[in-house]
Amino acid sequence: MSKRRETPLEKIFIESHHCTIDLRLEMLSQAPFFKGLDPEMLREVNKRFSATHFEAGEMIYYEDEPALRLRVVVSGKVKLMRHTEEGKDVLIDMLKPGEFFGTLSHLGGEVYSETATSQTHTCILSIDSQAFRDILTQYPVVAVNVLDIMAGRLQASRDSLFELSTLPVDQRIARILYRLAEKFGEQDDEFGLLIQMPLTRKDLADMAATTTETASRVISRLKKDGIIHAGRQWIAIEDLQELETLSA
């Protein structure tokens, strides 16, 4: 069977008993809010989180719903979508274990600014506003981390706006693929650095603020130049250095 027709992506299934205490603690330690907390502190923080499991494609929350819970990915992958004025759902980010999403009213969000959907089977930790406020009071370092995170998010929004308004589409897609390869890439003997998640041409088009047809043309050129392999809903990077050069 040719590479074009194969689907080499790993299938992810998460069962409730796999969301263990040790895994929860490991993922909380990777969440930027809790940087600087020692293992005993993390154990106390973990007690304030509840775990929920989602099937692939299941909705976690909708855009414009009241912002009631902050969440951390423990297992699986989550995608964030935003609804445009033109009535389209646009992909804005993909999340891996250890990353947080959602928000709380006292973190500056009265409502969720995006829709969150499980990309694969997932285990998600969540915390409500009062419990998170208690953590801020108990551990001042978390409050300092929150300030740094909010500043970082603001800068990331500015960078994204700059990319979408000034860079040509080829460079935007190259940057997106490079970031996804860094975040989700796994070395595969046959395909190179495989972006281990379902990824359609429409997903790339949404993230680059372009049309599916344009994204497909860019992907075809990258394949022709030997920089990537690609098939139905998957992409692997063959020449990461050249992709980085294109994205610079």
User: What order do you get walking across the sheet with 228-231 strand by strand?
Assistant: 185-188, 192-195, 234-237, 228-231
Region 150-179 average pLDDT: 79
pLDDT per residue as tens digits for the range 196-217:
888 888 888 888 888 899 999 9
115 has a pLDDT exceeding 50: yes
Q: Residue 247's pLDDT is what?
A: 84
Spacing of C-alpha 247 from chain mean position: 19
Report how far residue 183's alpha carbon sits from residue 193's, in angstroms, rounded to the nearest whole number. 11
Q: Is 94 within 8 Å of 79 (Cβ atoms)?
A: yes
pTM of the model: 0.77
With a CB cutoff of 8 Å and minimum separation 6, the contacts of 240 are 178, 181, 193
pLDDT per residue as tens digits for the range 10-26:
655 445 446 889 999 99
pLDDT per residue as tens digits for the range 126-140:
999 899 999 999 999
Report how far residue 118's alpha carbon sits from residue 76's, in angstroms, rounded to the nearest whole number. 8
Q: Residue 208's pLDDT is what?
A: 86
Q: Residue 3's pLDDT is what?
A: 43
